[in-house]
Structure 1
Amino acid sequence: MPRISEPTVAEHRARQLRTLLDAARALVAEEGIEALSLAALARRVGLSRPSLYEYFRSKDDLVAAIVEEELPRWAALVERALADPPDLVGKVTAYIRVQLEVMTDGRHAAAVALVEHALAEPARERIREGHAQLLRPLVNALADSGVPDPELRAELVQGIVDAAATAAQRRSDRPGAVIEAAVAQAVHGCVGIRPDAGQPAARAS
C-alpha cells in the first residue's frame, strides 16, 4: 500500500488524485491522446497498476475524470463572460469569444481534446452532463430574450464554436481572424457581411 503522506487517508487520496490528473493532462498535452493509457500514467507517476486501479477502473474512467474536473472551471468562465453584456448580441459574442479562447489555450488542451475522444456510454454520459453546464448560460440568455427553442439555438451556436476551434488548429497563425469570423457567422449569418471588413453591410431603409 502506498505510504500516506497526508494527515488522513481522504486527504492523501485527494492529493494523489490531483497528482494523477495533472500527470494525465501533461501526458496528453505532450504526446497526444493516443499516448494516454493507465500503463503510461502509472509509469509517469511511479505507481503500480493495481494502485492506479484504486482511482480509475479503466481508461474511459480516467478520461471522464480529467474532463469532469475541467468543465466546472470552464463553465464558470463562460458564466462570468455572459454576465456583463446587456444585450443578446453581446452575450452571444461573449460566449463565442470565451469558448474559443479556452479551446485554443494550451492550458486546457487535454480537456478539449478528450471531450471528443471515443468513450463508452457511461463515460460519455458523464461528459454530456458537464457540457450542459457550458451551454446553460447561453440557453438562459436566449430564453430571457424570447428566442424560440433556446436549447436548439444554443447547440447550433456551439456547433459554430466547435467548427471554429477546428479551423483555428489549421490556421494557428490567425486565431483572431477565426474568432471574429465565428462571431460574425453566429450573430449575422452570411447575409449582409462585407467581404472586406467581416461586418454587416448597411441595410437599405
Structure 2
Amino acid sequence: MSQTLRERRKALLRDEILAATHQLMAERGYAAFSMEELAARVGVSKPTLYNQFPTKEDLVATMAMQLMERTFAQVEAASEASPLQRLLTFLHTSVRLQIEHRTCAMQLWLPEIIDLLERHPRSQDYLARIDARLVATIEEAIAVGEIDPSVDVASVVRIFNALNISPSIGWISVSGEPDPERLADTVVAVFRQGLAPQGT
C-alpha cells in the first residue's frame, strides 16, 4: 500500500531529524547537545520534535539502529556471497564507515550510549535480532566448511563485535591516521585467519 502525502512528509521529517542528530553528535557529543538545539537546527518546534521522538534516548537509539541497518543492507545486497564472505563484508563496511565518519562513530560506542542501547526496549529487540543473524551466519559458515567447527559460536560473535567497534576505541595512537580501506582490510584478515579451519 502506498504512503499518503502526510506519511511521506512525516518520514522525510524523521530522516531530517536523524541526519541532524548525527551532525550534532559529531560536533558536540551526545551529552552536550539538547533537544532544543536539535529542534532549532531542523527548523521545527520542540512539540513537533517530541511528537517524532518522545525522548533524547529514543532519538539516539533510533539513529544507532538506522546506521546499523544501513550497514546490514549493504551486506545483504550481496546475497549470493558465501556466509563467511557476508560476515567479512559487514565487518569491512562497518570499519571503513567508522573511519570515514569517525567523530560520530566514536560517540556511538561510548559507555553511556552502549548502556542506553542495552536498556532501550526497541534497541534491545533490534540487538537481539542482529545477534541472531550473526549466529545463524556463523553456523552456516561452519556447516559449509568456511569456519573451523571447533570454535565456540558465542565467542566468535563477541570477537566479531569487538573487532567491529575496534576503530572507535582505538583512536589514540601516535602512529598517524589510518587509511580506511587498509584498516578495514587488516581487521577482516585478522578475523578470517583466526577462524580458518585447521590445516588450511
Output the TM-score relative to the length of structure 2: 0.69
Shift of 1:91: 4.8
Distance 1:140 1:102 in 2: 24
Residue type of the alignment partner of 1:99:
S
Query: Counterpart in 1 of 2:158?
Result: 155
Q: 1:130 aligned to 2:126?
A: yes
Residue type of the alignment partner of 2:122:
R
The DSSP-based 3-state class of the residue aligned with 2:170 is helix
Query: Counterpart in 1 of 2:193?
Result: 188
Distance 2:105 2:44 in 1: 23
Structure 1 residues without counterparts, runs of 5 or longer = 1-6, 190-202
Output the TM-score relative to the length of structure 1: 0.67
Conserved 8 A contact 1:72-1:130? no
Conserved 8 A contact 2:135-2:153? yes
Conserved 8 A contact 1:79-1:137? no
Q: 1:100 aligned to 2:95?
A: yes
Cα-to-partner distance string for 1:97-149 (whole Å, 9 max, x where unaligned): 1221222232x8646633541427542x4334334555555433321224454
The DSSP-based 3-state class of the residue aligned with 1:33 is coil
Q: Which residue of 35, 48, 52 corresponds with 1:51? A: 48
Note closer, same or farther for the CA distance 1:119–1:87 as it changes in structure 2 (3 Å cut).
closer
Q: Which residue of 140, 143, 154 corresponds with 2:139? A: 143
Larger radius of gyration between Structure 1 and Structure 2: 1
Shift of 1:48: 2.8
Cα-to-partner distance string for 1:182-205 (whole Å, 9 max, x where unaligned): 23432334xxxxxxxxxxxxx9xx
Distance 2:64 2:77 in 1: 20
Q: How many residues align?
A: 181
Distance 1:51 1:91 in 2: 40
Shift of 1:41: 0.5
Query: Counterpart in 2 of 1:166?
Result: 169
Distance 2:20 2:154 in 1: 36
Q: Within 5 Å, give how 1:20-59 maps onto structure 2.
A: 20-59=17-56
Cα-to-partner distance string for 1:57-87 (whole Å, 9 max, x where unaligned): 2210111121233332221123345742x47
Residue type of the alignment partner of 1:152:
S
Shift of 1:38: 0.7
Q: RMSD of aligned C-alpha atoms?
A: 3.4
Conserved 8 A contact 1:97-1:183? yes
Higher relative contact order (CA 8 A, sep 6+): 2
Shift of 1:20: 1.6
Distance 1:73 1:8 in 2: 25
Q: 1:61 aligned to 2:58?
A: yes
Conserved 8 A contact 1:72-1:133? no
